[in-house]
Structure 1
């Protein structure tokens, strides 16, 4: 955000407020944003936005309503110029997000979103990083369950190792445990990325590269093969991890965000830092079978969405855009992300990011809300950086403190 943005009429605009996650974010901000934070609701439909506002209680009764279509660059620049920060939930971002990022960079307005789309993030970096950096603007992608637990988990893990003088991070693995639902928006993002890369071998190679979000691929250390999609024996991760682990559905995106954080920080985590993500399926004797089944299901979903006949059938079965998990599923959900590393001195450390609520929806609303409020309220404590950034590089300890205050566990210790 530029200095002139501090004097604008609004602090925060929530774009896409009537969508599934947008409604959750609006409710969270109406309940928890400090008095005096000037918030507006934005989207395409005034009647829908007005109907949403009536459900948010007295604290939101006077929130302004702004109208802008995601494909109207002029309207988006006008929207961005009225506020310090834009938080958007409108995806798939490859379809609906590019113009808004450009508008925020042009207007000198900070930006946060929920994307988990490699190709969109890469396009955003290529188109806007240098201009945003020169203008002092923070464009912060992936401020939800993708990829805050991963990015901040490694951040606090590194801090614990550094504080003890225990060397650099080495082989590091995140083990995800979770319960929650799937929305139509998430499925639509997967469809969009498959459709974008299917006719273009170069895009498929880019999406598959472990360093697809790196600022400079030629500067990356040669660490050999990076196993972003893998079935791993828990004993090979840490002595306390039981059974076999399955591929984690968002590991192929989160790992790239974490590697970008390391590169943007001048390889602060270490030049031999290797990172992967897996998912727990329990510690029973059948865990290897369960892990293989999960891998087959994930592979089958991607293949099924890539082939026309099965795509037609899946589109009839899977949630449609705008649909999401029930209130009970959101309430009963949880996530725990446990990270394990062996440092270059041979020391073992672990970190945990844990929270209640469906991770992709209720908990994501908390993460995105606190990310936006970090930019609005805590600017003087944020890292001195700008450009197309990651949660750890843009928000760092400020966001860690805010999420702890919102009830998340974020911790690190020796193992």
Structure 2
């Protein structure tokens, strides 16, 4: 694979929680990223703490501010959200210049918009754009791909569930809790009848078998529905579920129904905020190293014919590090793999299309995300 000389990794958002995890992962890999952001004092202090890293002051809301520093073949990594509000200028700058792009969003609506707006330009400039390249949603795409391949031509449906082990409530960041709360009144895209269909978040609850126990999970959005159907044209149904708090799945479904009714009423937004406020309660910031070590990520993909009552065709379980730690490692690996890359796949793509299944699986295994337990194949 050809490379571009003197290409650099730019990290936007390094002074934040997720950006700090990505920076630590990059440094462990021996990379020396250029830190980018708007706070010159904070950037300089962070750069100095890590041996004098290069740093540049940019306005992430202005594509031209970023384009002045980026070159074709650079890798731009961003953790600055909310992405729907702040992410488009960053993605636009990468696509225009031909810089490869990796972000940490969990906002599927943003990913859809990035694909619609910038895919063609990225293909023209040679930029590989990888939105949502973290715990959201690389593990599910990997597990879903493995399950669908093992199921073969008979596969018609994929159900993907995200779970965790350990004392999770204190182990998730305030930002994640806020995103979960806001997400209850946003639609969740699913793949039904060979097309994207928006459904109410938590409108469905599904059970998954984990280590001999049945765990419930509620319907959420996921980029699996955007990228996997093109790889498996026989799929007529694909849904993503969150089972972080299995015992709360059905109560959350009821809260979602009430919130979505209230928010459509005149003056209903304040009432909705009060109803969902408890979902944000917990410590501020994000889990530290000790807290992250207490929880692990667990993802299940079930491939089937879609016929009720029929056993699965294939089932894949992946277990790995804490979701935040895994996100930092995934984004660092993607940036290191892309920097200087020219030729080959370009555009807004999923992780399998960008790197190939075996390369992605081996990289994830090296981070500790690998198949566990029973791997069922019909």
TM-score bin, normalised by smaller chain: 0.7 to 0.9
Selected match of 1:28 from 11, 15, 25:
25
Specify the alignment match of 1:214 in structure 2. Answer: none
Selected match of 1:392 from 352, 355, 360:
352
Pick closer, same or farther for the CA change 1:243–1:38 going to 2, 3 Å: closer
Note the C-alpha offset of 1:141: 0.6
Partner SS state of residue 341, structure 1? strand
Structure with greater helix share of residues: 1
Any residues of structure 2 matched to 1:137-286 within 5 Å, and which?
137-161=127-151, 166-178=152-164, 179=166, 180=168, 181-186=171-176, 207-210=187-190, 221=194, 229-232=202-205, 234=207, 242-243=213-214, 245-247=216-218, 251-254=219-222, 257-265=223-231, 268=232, 270-279=234-243
Specify the alignment match of 1:53 in structure 2. Answer: 47
Specify the alignment match of 1:6 in structure 2. Answer: 4
Specify the alignment match of 2:320 in structure 1. Answer: 355
After TM superposition, the score normalised by the length of structure 2 is: 0.80
Separation in 1, partners of 2:331, 2:189: 27
Specify the alignment match of 1:201 in structure 2. Answer: none
Q: Deviations over 1:334-358 (max 9, x none)?
A: 111122222599762111221122x
Partner SS state of residue 69, structure 2? helix
Pick closer, same or farther for the CA change 1:226–1:170 going to 2, 3 Å: farther
| Contact residue 261 and residue 392 of structure 1 kept, 8 A | no
After TM superposition, the score normalised by the length of structure 1 is: 0.74
Partner SS state of residue 167, structure 1? helix
What stretches of structure 2 of length at least 5 have no aligned partner? none
Alignment length, in residue pairs?
364
Pick closer, same or farther for the CA change 1:323–1:223 going to 2, 3 Å: closer
Partner SS state of residue 368, structure 1? helix
| Contact residue 370 and residue 403 of structure 1 kept, 8 A | no
Any residues of structure 2 matched to 1:83-94 within 5 Å, and which?
84-94=74-84
Task: Indicate yes or no: 2:297 matched with 1:335.
Answer: yes
Partner SS state of residue 210, structure 1? strand
Separation in 2, partners of 1:231, 1:191: 17
Partner SS state of residue 335, structure 1? strand
What stretches of structure 1 of length at least 5 have no aligned partner? 199-203, 212-216
Separation in 1, partners of 2:259, 2:366: 37
Partner SS state of residue 220, structure 2? helix
Pick closer, same or farther for the CA change 1:320–1:388 going to 2, 3 Å: farther
Specify the alignment match of 2:273 in structure 1. Answer: 311
Pick closer, same or farther for the CA change 1:62–1:299 going to 2, 3 Å: farther
Note the C-alpha offset of 1:246: 2.8
Partner SS state of residue 4, structure 2? helix
